[in-house]
Amino acid sequence: MPTFIQNILSVISAGLGACLAIGIGVSHNQLCALISFAAGTLLGTTLFHIIPESASIHPAAIAIALGSGYLLFHLISRYVFHVCPACSASHVEEQTSESFKSIAILLTIGLSIHSTMDGMALALGKNLGEHPDHSVFLTILIHKFPEGLALCSLLLKSGYSKIRALLVTITLELSTLLGWFLGAFILTNYPAHHYIDLAMLHIGGGFAYLAVHAVINEARKHSPKVVVGFFAAGVGLMILTSVIH
């Protein structure tokens, strides 16, 4: 499947999540399960697909690339806004309606960076290993659904109309295409393949941050058994895809 089509399907996944938020909504317990499962796929992809396919790179370089991705998302989440609206849902659910307006503005910055890296991952993920690897696509497709749901919910709480909340959600998610363009037409033109591996490791570090942050956050507010169970299911799915691959 062309990576451009994968990007479009990922945006559609976020759009479907937004439509669910507008149509019937989802309780935070249900959103917690979705977040935990998606977090498991993020970490599983990093551990069982991205890192193993970069085995030819020096271990120190692997650690630095992973650490840089983790640190980038940490700094953005600490000083700007949580880069994942789904993972940050618990942080803002007690906020007043007035504060949601400023949250929506900050969210635009954080999500744009997050989605750009998602697009880069989709563009570069096809280069993992000697055979086509769709684990990155599957991971992002799964993660986009609760992301779109949470993002649209936050926009609705900030006073946006249903139509405007849906359009803004889809518009922000389209920043994924910017990342796809950077990955498909710029990074893949480097002659050395290890540059692509380093870029994927950097993105994998961001995936790891999202996964760890989501699990810790959800476990504090909900049943740890539910969080760990759905998280383990997500990791298990990625292990299964690595075995099949």
Looking at per-residue pLDDT, the higher value among 199 and 106 belongs to: 199
Q: What pLDDT sits at residue 241?
A: 83
CA-CA distance, 199 to 182, in Å (whole number)? 11
- Please name which of 185, 152, 137, 131 lies closest in space to residue 41, comparing C-alpha atoms: 137
Distances in Å between the Cα of 166 and the Cα atoms of 107, 150, 160, 163 are 15, 11, 9, 5
Q: Is the distance from CB of 112 to CB of 172 less than 8 angstroms? A: yes
Beta-carbon contacts of residue 87 (< 8 Å; ≥ 6 apart): 35, 39, 210, 213, 214, 217
Q: What pLDDT sits at residue 88?
A: 56
Q: What pLDDT sits at residue 101?
A: 60
Q: What pLDDT sits at residue 158?
A: 75
Report domain extents, the chain: 28-244
Q: What pLDDT sits at residue 196?
A: 79
129 Ramachandran zone, left/alpha/beta (phi>0; psi -120 to 50): left
Convert the pLDDT of each residue in 133-166 to its tens digit.
678 899 999 989 988 888 888 788 777 899 999 9
User: Highest mean pLDDT: which of 169-173, 191-195, 212-216?
Assistant: 169-173
Q: What pLDDT sits at residue 78?
A: 82
Looking at per-residue pLDDT, the higher value among 64 and 192 belongs to: 64
Convert the pLDDT of each residue in 51-110 to its tens digit.
988 888 899 999 999 999 999 989 988 887 666 666 655 555 555 455 556 666 666 777
